Amino acid sequence: MEIDGLDVRGLTVRYGGATAVDRVSLQAPPARLTGLIGPNGAGKTSTFNAIAGLVAPAEGTIHLHGEDVSRRGPAERAQRGLGRTFQRMELFASMTVAENVALGWEARRAGSSVFRQLFARPGDRTGLAAATDEALEVCGLTAIARRRAGSLSTGQRRLVELARTYAGGFSVLLLDEPASGLDDTETARFAEILQRMTAERGTAILIVEHDMPLVMEVCHYLYVLDFGELIFEGTPAETLASSVVRSAYLGAEQGLEEAEHHAGVI
């Protein structure tokens, strides 16, 4: 059965003799915020790297909008609508906020044609400016658009990363701990932006995040990994109530308790 958005089937990732991800299947359909959670070392980043094309899977397939992209490189996946952020922020410190954001629009189109990289089409400059301005406005960055990225706070830089993916117009987004370093106000703004992207653009978002209150607030559906295996999937409420999930998070129970209070469960 063909599934729109992201469809991962039986994904296995190995490093030498060690299995980091073991036969994981998950879906991130359009207009849905899907969470991928689990303790440290559960295999979340390895899963993301395989989906993005940075690591070759030992087994399994990855489909984007019904097309098997398992053997395609990162650039080809980007052209087909896949965008990503990283745990470690990848901004150009000497460039302005606006210039960094504009790279999202350009990255989506990079590699599609050698001539496209050398010669811009008449409407490219207009399209680039419009996409950049919209992303800056949506993410609340217009006032600092001319500042160098290297001078920003951690929270501001996270929002620049998100604005860059917004400018790219990607239909499927992988967000790897995107709220790390954000204060409460920035986190609330971040949540609003994600919800706007799914509701207004129909973006399929798969997010890895350790901020459990944020995950429970914005995600519609969750997958839980532990030691590279998928141990649970369900709604946020079902996840909070799962004894299997609580067992996996033993030693990090505080995060689940905070999420429960935030969700009004207890």
Contact 98, 163 (CB under 8 A): no
pLDDT, tens digit, 9 for 90 and up, residues 96-106: 999 999 998 88
Look at residue 179 and tell me whether its pLDDT is greater than 90.
no
CATH architecture of structural domain 82-170: 3-Layer(aba) Sandwich (3.40)
pLDDT of residue 203 exceeding 60, the answer is yes
Q: For residue 11, what are the β-bridge partners?
A: 24
Q: Write out pLDDT tens, residues 57-112.
A: 999 999 999 999 999 999 899 889 999 987 777 789 999 999 999 998 887 665 55
The Cα-based distances of 186 to 153, 154, 157, 169 in angstroms read: 11, 10, 11, 22
* pLDDT of 120 above 60: no
256: confidence class by pLDDT, cuts 50, 70, 90: low
The answer to whether domain 1-80+172-177+205-266 has CATH 3.40.50.300 is: yes
How many C-beta atoms surround the C-beta of residue 263 within 10 A? 15
Q: How far apart are CA 185 and CA 49, in angstroms?
A: 30
Is the predicted pLDDT of residue 28 greater than 60, yes or no?
Answer: yes
Residue 106 is predicted with a pLDDT of: 83
Average pLDDT of the residues of the chain: 87
d(CA 90, CA 158): 10
Inform me whether the pLDDT recorded for 253 exceeds 70: no
H-run or E-run covering 214: helix 212-218
What is the identity of the amino acid at 174?
L
When comparing pLDDT for 265 and 77, which is higher? 77
Contact between 38 and 226 under an 8 Å Cβ cutoff? The reply is yes
Strands 221-226 and 32-37: parallel
The full set of domain ranges for the chain reads 1-80+172-177+205-266, 82-170
Strands 172-176 and 204-208: parallel
Strand arrangement of the beta sheet that strand 221-226 belongs to: 82-84, 172-176, 204-208, 32-37, 221-226, 229-234
CA 188 – CA 181 distance, rounded (Å):
13
Mean pLDDT, range 203-230, rounded to an integer? 94
Confidence of residue 248 (pLDDT cuts 50, 70, 90): confident
**Least confident interval from 27-36, 163-172, 175-184:** 175-184
DSSP for 32-49, written as a single string: EEEEEE-STTSSHHHHHH
Say which residue, 250 or 245, is predicted with more confidence.
Answer: 245
The answer to whether the 1-80+172-177+205-266 and 82-170 domains have the same CATH topology is: yes
How far are the Cα atoms of 16, 78, 125, 192 from residue 121, in angstroms, in the given order? Answer: 46, 20, 8, 34
Higher pLDDT, 256 or 20: 20
- pLDDT of residue 252 exceeding 60, the answer is no
pLDDT of residue 105: 87
